[in-house]
Structures are given as structure tokens and as C-alpha cells.
Amino acid sequence: MFSAPVTAIKILPNDRICLAGTGPYVLAFDLTTNQQLLQEKILIDSIVHGFEARQITKETDNSSYIIVVFGQRTFSIIQWSSISRTSLTTVISSIQCPSWIISALIVHLDPLIQSLTVLFGTALNQIYRYNKSLELIQSFKYTTLYSSCLFHHINECIIFAAGTVFGQLILYEQDSNDYFHEKLNVSHHNGAIFGITYYENFLCTVGDDRTVKLYKFHNDLELLTSFFAHEARIWQSCLTSTHILTCGEDSSIRLWSHKSTGEILRCFSVHRCKNVWCMDILRDNDNNKPLIIISGWSDGGVRRYHLDDVPIDSHEVILLNNILQNDYPRNIIFLNSIIMIVQMNSGQLLKIDQQNITIFYDGRNILKNGYVKMNVAHDGNQYLAVGLLNGLVFIFDQYGKIINEFQIDINKNNKILQILWLNNTLSSKLLVCIPDGIMFVYNITNQPATVDHYLEILPDFEQRWPNTCLYLDQYNLLLIGDRQGNILSYDLNNQLNCSIYQKFERLHGINGTSSIVIDENTNLIRSCGRDGYINIFSINNEQRKLIHQSTFTITSDITWLDQFIKFPSLITCFTTNNFSLYTLDDQTTKRRLMHVECGGGHRNHDFFIEKNFDAYFVYVRNKQIYLAKKNLMRILNEATCLSIIPPTHGTEIRCVKLFQTNNHLYMITGSEDTQIKLFTFQLEKFNPKCEHISTLQSHLSAVCDIIVIDNLFFSCGARAQIFAWQMKNNIVIRSGHFMLHPLRRRHGAGGGGNINDENKKDNFNEDRGLDVRFTSIAAIRMAENGNYLLFVTGSDAILRIFRYTISSNRFTLLQTCTHSEYCQLRVKVYSKRYIVFVSSTDGLLCAYDCLSLDNTIRSTFIKLHQSGINDFDLIEIIENHLLRLASAGDDGSIHVSIFDINNWIWKREYSKDNIHQSPATGIRFLNSTMFISIGIDQRLKLWTIKNDEQILELTKNYLVDIRDILSMDMIFCDEKNQFAIVIVGAGVQTIQFDLTNYLFYS
């Protein structure tokens, strides 16, 4: 398995084939079948940054391409053929260039005599030529380039466009003597130019200043348009004769017109994915617009977007042909399918069925000039309940017949503020709310309806009514989400007067809880609100109480989540003036499926989706009814991500753990993007398989370490947070949470999860814990069943010892200790004797005796490294007596030491100074005399301790493909007698080690 940022994309349009570069690998995809065809390692020790392709013309039906693959200071030339679609043929293997290659152009190709000439533009403002050998043909004035483009212009003359770090665009033209001379020089960018694109006499540049510049290029450059396009740096652009596409560091792809002054036509984005590094487009026959966009993302995903997947298919005004003059709609709701009921100001209820508009109920004497509440039961008989301001409630069947009618009468203001059907009651139970938070549950099977339950009034608030409810029939609990963001649980076992059984106060802020649903497959409950957050709960079956598991968002710019849709799993939401529909369970993409400019969520609206995936959004605006429609069939059934290996994280992966459960191999990763991801995978030599299981979002900042024990795992990270998670049948729920200095939620318009200094004073002493980062965590079982002892290192140089109790989901701080004033980095535990080992940034490795936590904990340390010890591992060499520890540090050194448990002393054994060319970040024992180490230099080294000769020998050296390596883990697979190794950093790579033959392979 290999997943890393995708840094190059090239479409071969005639065959609808897409090439992608990730690390040193080239992937190929069939855009007709949306299948991945191949993955081959082309550049041995370099990252693929670009492709240059030329089709070979033949008389047969075989279509083949010569492709130049380049990256960093290396290039290779390969061939792809439509006959052997699943393989690449290497024409010329890797050739080194003295300078960084940033562009290429095939200027001559004769397959008959195997003649090929390629020009390369480099970052030192030079041009190299390859024709059987590589030679420098010209150096221009000295400057550093961040981008360049080689292309054929008028009369097939070759232009070299160079974008400098100072914002200059320099054009060089080749003359008849093959000499390049400077033609034009402009400085329109305020900062480095990161991308240059040429298409049909149009030239586009993008850069560090977040702007797009479009030029018309003949003999001179004519600036056609310039505008700010992204909130962060822009990496690349693509052109058609009428449109511009840009992608960048703000994790979005944007479509613009050539005449644009900053108006976005379309936008595609992925939540929590930092960069869109590259893209290419498959144009239509007229080249007027792109049909398909293929893009490469920093989470390793190759994603496809269709430009004809417009936000909506149709948007129309429904003309009511009002029977009464000056009448207008006040309220609207879907009855069933796309049949709508409209409340008119005159009191009439109109039924809209396609173009047929009829009177559903003539309520001019009762409903006139009043706003009514309407709700449709979505199970049973699909009754329509209508509540009036005078306390009167009508129950209609779907044909407009009144089947029940009753009056709220308690000698108070009986205005109906809310009316909601209880699910799973076959249209028999109705929740009604009147002023002062008074609520009833009516049984409408009786004539007239009777009260089954009087509910305890809602907490005091200005807007005191429920927005949503969920009836859990198996527990006989009624969950209510109200207008002030509370989630309340009512025990309906109490026959008449029902009190609040459980309360989550202001969980969704003062704008209210908007929807609550249960997933029948997992038995997990979801709530969402107008704070933009989704909360997940599990249920304690014995106590019949909710347990809060996690909180996450769809995207950071959505502050109003409105309604869960179960089949398929979607969610509706609002952003300022717009309605949007998002996928919910597609954790790797969170795609926006529908987008309507409607004026905002405060307007009366409703949403419905049919079985054929026709989605309808209806709303009232300016006294008119608007209906938007979109068919979601293709976008739901056609995966956006083309890669076989699922995307991982959009930012650096800081930690990884491997574990086995029920003969399945799992990998769990934590990242700077605050997410934890769980994967299951199979180690096959030529066909590795990986499946994304779950994405967990609860950490407020970076996830630094994870430990797995039994069916639990614990995660720790920045903001001094620890989380406990429980996994059962591939379902993960959060079972506990600890924070050194908990953040107070601000129950305002911004929603939950914000730091708020309520006292408006200097709280430095109280809140300094917010700067503490928990760097590593270890765990062992305690003697008491269901209790675990946790050891957590911190950036404040303190080792904290916790007890975690499953039954109460509580963390209890038992003890703290320290051995130096420097940040602690890594913790491991020898469980037999409760000895805890901690490394720190001053190069110390310390042992703590934690067998008894009642007294002062004794400790002893040894100075091993010049600077921080990033990782270490331990193994028993004499049971209950001697431990061997191997450590890897920032100084690039490897040290092996012995710890004598009985005498409580350290002994240096072996050391290799500066054995890694950069900081070493991971180390693991294979057995008592063999271990592996890894560093940022990408060298995976196998070491053998030869006790007879008293030497530490480097046995194997293997170059891995992941950059910026931060962590490593390893597990032994008994069936294959081999080790599975996972390395993470700027991506993920799995490597297998054959213990019999001492071979690494990936």
C-alpha cells in the first residue's frame, strides 16, 4: 500500500486515459469505466511533478503514447499502449539532470527510427535538451523559477515561459538557429508565480498573491483579466477557449469565465484536505468548456468532477393562479412524493400535484391571516397535522379529509408553537407545544384525540419550543431538541406526567437543535443544529441513557445544519443565503450535491427525495413559491475518488498503530488535521487491498499518538486532550474524554467549541494548560477488571498517570512525575513490572517504577543522544531481569542500552552516531538481536546485534518512498512468517519484511 500527495495529472484525451503521479509512482485510470488500470514505480528516488505526452500515429487500431515523466532532478521516458492497458513500457530509465526540472516539451518524435528530442526547463532558468544524451543548451539571466512552460506557438516556434520568485513573467522565443532570446517581460504579480498555462494563444499565470492573470498572446501580451481567485496560494490553472480552472492551497477547484472579474462559476472542495496540487481537464468537442476535471489532492486522492453536475437541474416559480385577489403563500410542506400543501394568507390550503393546483381545504373562516404549523407523518398513513394560533388542531388524510379535530384548552394562551409527529407510531402520536414550554403527547386514534403524556416544561428561554423529536420505541424514550440547543430525554414509562430523564444543555448553541435521528444499523443517534455541529450518541441499554461520543462538522463555513436524510445518508444545511445538500457518511469526501440561492434558512422551506434520487427543494420567497430539482443518481452512484487505495489525511500524519482483531489486520492513523482514521488492509505482494472503516473527529488540534489495547484505543494530542474509543464489529464509538484545562463553550451565534474568556480578565494561570501538548501515550490493564492504567507524556515535561474506568468512562489523574525540564517525547511501558520509560528532547531516557503510585516514584535516567529521542523500543532479553532498549534521535544516531530491572541501573551497549543523514524518527525490535530504524532521510535500516563479536551491524538498507517520515509501526504476521511495517509522514506506505530471506518489499 502506498498513498501520498498526488502531484501530477495528465489526461490522454483520445483514449480517455488519465495519468497521475504520486511519490515515484505513476497511476493510470480509465475515465470511461472509472477503474484504476495500473500503478508502477517509474522515478526511483524522486517525486513525479509532471508529464509530457505525445501520441504515436499508427495505421492500426492500436493507440500508444510516448510519455516523459519528470520530477525533481530526474526524468524517465515510458510508453503506454491501448493494447496493453494495464502496464507501462520503459523506453528510457531514470536519467539525472543537474538542475530541478519544472517543464518539458517533446519537440521531435519519430517512432520508426526511434528518434526523440525533448526540451526541459529548469528552476535555474536553463534549458536542457535530451537526444540520446542530456545537454545544457542555454542559460538565461540568473534567477530562480518556481514555474515554467514550454509550448509551440505561431508557426510552430517554441516559447519558453518562465515565472520567477519575484513575480516576473519572462517569455523566451527560439529562433531558426535554435537559440532562445528574450521576447517579453512583465511583472503583474506581487510574489512568486507558481503556475503557467498555455492554450490556443491564451496564457494564464497564478501565484503567491492569490490572483489569476489571463493574457492574449500573439506577438505581444495583452492582459485580458486579473482577479483574486482563492483564499490561499494558487498552484495551477487549466484553460479552454472560454473558461479558466484554478486550484490551490485552500483545498478548492474553481471555475471562472475569461471575462471574469472575480465571480465564481463553480467550486469543488474537500473538507480538511489542505492542497489541490494539480489537475487536468477533458474538454468537449468544441473545446469551449471542460467536461471532466481530474485533480490530485494532498490526501492521496485522485478525484473526478463533472462540469455538467450543475448545482440544480431546474429552478422554477410555481404559479398559483390565486382564486382570491391579493392572496399569497405563507407556508409550504411536501405531503408525499412531490405533492405539496400550501397555506395561503386567505386561509385556504392548496394542493400542488405537478401542474395541477386544487383546494385541499377551504379554511378561510378559520385559518385566515394566521400563520399555522404543519407537519406530515412519514410512517403509517402519512397524515397532515395543522396547528392554529387559537389552539385548534386538525388532522387530515392525504386526500384532504379531516379525520380528527381537537382543541387545546388549559385556560391559558393556547397558541400552537410547534406540532411534530412521533416516528414509529404509525401516525398515532402527536407532540404539541404551546407557550411557556408546555408540551403534550396526543393519541389521535381516539375521537377526539386524548392526552397520553404531559411532558415537563422546557427550560426557560425566550423562544421556548421544540424543533425536532425522536421516539425510541425500544426504550420508550422521547428525545426532544429545542430552540435553545438543548437535547432532552423524556421517560414515557411514567404514564401521564413525564419528567426530564436526561438533559444535554445548550449542546447546539442558542440557535437551536434542528434534527435528531437514529441509525438502525449501528444504534447510534445523531443530532445537528444551527451551530454547524453534528453530535453522535450511543445508548446505555441498562440505564436507558445517552452517552455522548463525538462532535464533528461538515465544513467550517456551514453554521446551520437543518435536516438529516436517511436513505441515502444526506444532510441539508444553509450558508448565509444558500441552501446546500451534502453527503453525510462519505467521510473521505463530504461532497456537496445540491446548491440553491434561496435567501436563507429562515424562509419557509421543505426538502424531499424520491426513490429514483430526484431531489426537490421548495421555499417561499417574496410571496412566491420556488421549486428546485436535481437528480442525484449519477453523483451518488459514481464515486468521486478514482484511486483503489482510499485517501488518508490532507496534512502530515503524526502517528500510526497496527493491530489484529478476528484475523483482520487494522491500521489506525492520527494527523495534524485533527482526524483519526481507521483502515483494514490485506498484505498481498502485488495486489494490496485497503478499506477505509471510519473517520473520528473529536480532537481540537493535532493527534500526536495512539495506543491500542484489547478492543479499546486511546488517542492524545495538542490542547492536552485524551480520548478513549471502543471498537466493536468495525464500529467505533467514543467512550471517554479528558482535557487538562477544558474549553468553555460559547453559546452564541458561533456555536459550540470556542474559547471564551467569560470573566474578561487575565486567566493566564488558569489556561496555560491549553498550550500543553500530550505527545505520547501508553496503557496497561490493571488488576481490577475494566480498569486501565494510562501513562501520558507532555510538552510541559510532566509524565501524568491516569486510571481509566470503562463502566464510568472516567479518567482519574493518579500521579505526576518529571525527570528534567525538557519536553517529553515518547513513553513505553514494561507491563510485567510496571516500569515506564520516557524519552525527552534533552536526549535523556528515563525509567520510572510505577508499581506503587502511593509514594514518590523512583526514577533513573541515562544520557544517550545529543538532542531529542524521537522514538525507542524495548524487548526482554532475560525475563524479569534485563531489558534491551534501542533509541533513535534528532541527531541521526542509534543507541542500544541495557536496563537492569533488579539493580535499577542503565548500561550502554552499542551506538552508531549520525547513521541517518537526518533525524531518525522510528525504531522497532524484530527480536532480541534485530531491529529496524527509519529516518527523514527515507532509509529503512535493518540492524543485527552480534553478541559474540560485540558489534552492531547494518544488515540491510532499504529506500522508502514516503517523505517527511514522522512515525512507524510494525506487526508480525504468523501465517506468512513476515513483518508488516507501516511508515507515515507525508502519506502512508506499507512494507513487508521476509524474515526467512531478510528481504524488504512493498
Q: How far apart are CA 519 and CA 537, in angstroms?
A: 11
Residue 662 lies in a domain: no
Q: What angle do CA 990, 991, 997 make, to 5 degrees?
A: 160
Sign of the Cα torsion 743, 747, 748, 751 reads: positive
User: Which pLDDT score, from 0 to 100, does residue 288 have?
Assistant: 62
- The C-alpha cell that represents 384 in the structure block: 397532515
User: Which pLDDT score, from 0 to 100, does residue 748 have?
Assistant: 32
Q: What angle do CA 32, 38, 41 make, to 5 degrees?
A: 145
Q: How far apart are CA 393 and CA 396, in angstroms?
A: 10
- What are the φ/ψ torsions at residue 379 (nearest 5 degrees)? -135, 170
Residue 296 lies in a domain: yes
Whether omega before 98 lies within 30 degrees of 0, making that bond cis, reads no
- The C-alpha cell that represents 769 in the structure block: 494548560
Q: How far is CA 872 from CA 296, 795, 865, 889, 933, in A?
A: 35, 18, 12, 9, 10
- What are the φ/ψ torsions at residue 768 (nearest 5 degrees)? -65, -20
Mean pLDDT by 10 residues, the chain (1002 residues): 95 94 96 92 94 80 90 96 91 94 94 85 96 94 93 91 96 92 95 96 96 94 95 95 93 92 86 88 73 93 85 86 80 90 93 91 86 89 92 94 90 87 93 95 94 94 94 95 95 91 90 93 92 90 89 79 90 91 70 88 90 93 93 84 91 95 91 93 72 88 95 94 89 86 42 33 44 94 94 96 93 94 96 96 96 90 96 94 96 96 95 94 95 96 91 94 95 81 95 87 82
User: Which pLDDT score, from 0 to 100, does residue 976 have?
Assistant: 65
Residue 506 lies in a domain: no
> In this structure, are strands 450-455 and 497-498 parallel, antiparallel, or unpaired?
parallel
Residue 977 lies in a domain: no
Whether the CB-CB separation of 396 and 430 falls below 8 Å is answered with no
User: Which pLDDT score, from 0 to 100, does residue 761 have?
Assistant: 36
Q: How far is CA 330 from CA 272, 347, 369, 619, in A?
A: 39, 10, 9, 10
Q: How far apart are CA 325 and CA 328, in angstroms?
A: 9
H-run or E-run covering 627? strand 624-631
Nearest-CA neighbor of 213 among 233, 231, 232, 197?
Answer: 197
Q: How far apart are CA 341 and CA 328, in angstroms?
A: 13
Whether the CB-CB separation of 128 and 136 falls below 8 Å is answered with yes
Q: How far apart are CA 688 and CA 36, in angstroms?
A: 13
Q: Where are the beta strands (DSSP E) in 4-45?
A: 6-12, 17-22, 25-30, 35-41
| CATH code of the domain covering residue 297 | 2.130.10.10
- The C-alpha cell that represents 997 in the structure block: 530471506
Residue 215 lies in a domain: yes
Residue 232's CB is within 10 A of a number of other CB atoms, namely 14
Give the residue numbers spanning the domain of 19: 2-305
Q: How far apart are CA 850 and CA 856, in angstroms?
A: 9
- The C-alpha cell that represents 820 in the structure block: 528534567
Residue 143 lies in a domain: yes
Q: How far apart are CA 863 and CA 853, in angstroms?
A: 26
Tell me which amino acid residue 397 is. D
Residue 728 burial by Cβ neighbours in a 10 Å radius (0-12, 13-18, 19+): exposed
Q: How far apart are CA 248 and CA 274, in angstroms?
A: 9
Residue 15 lies in a domain: yes
The total of structural domains in the chain comes to 1
Tell me which amino acid residue 804 is. Y
User: Which pLDDT score, from 0 to 100, does residue 591 have?
Assistant: 79
SS3 category, 647: coil
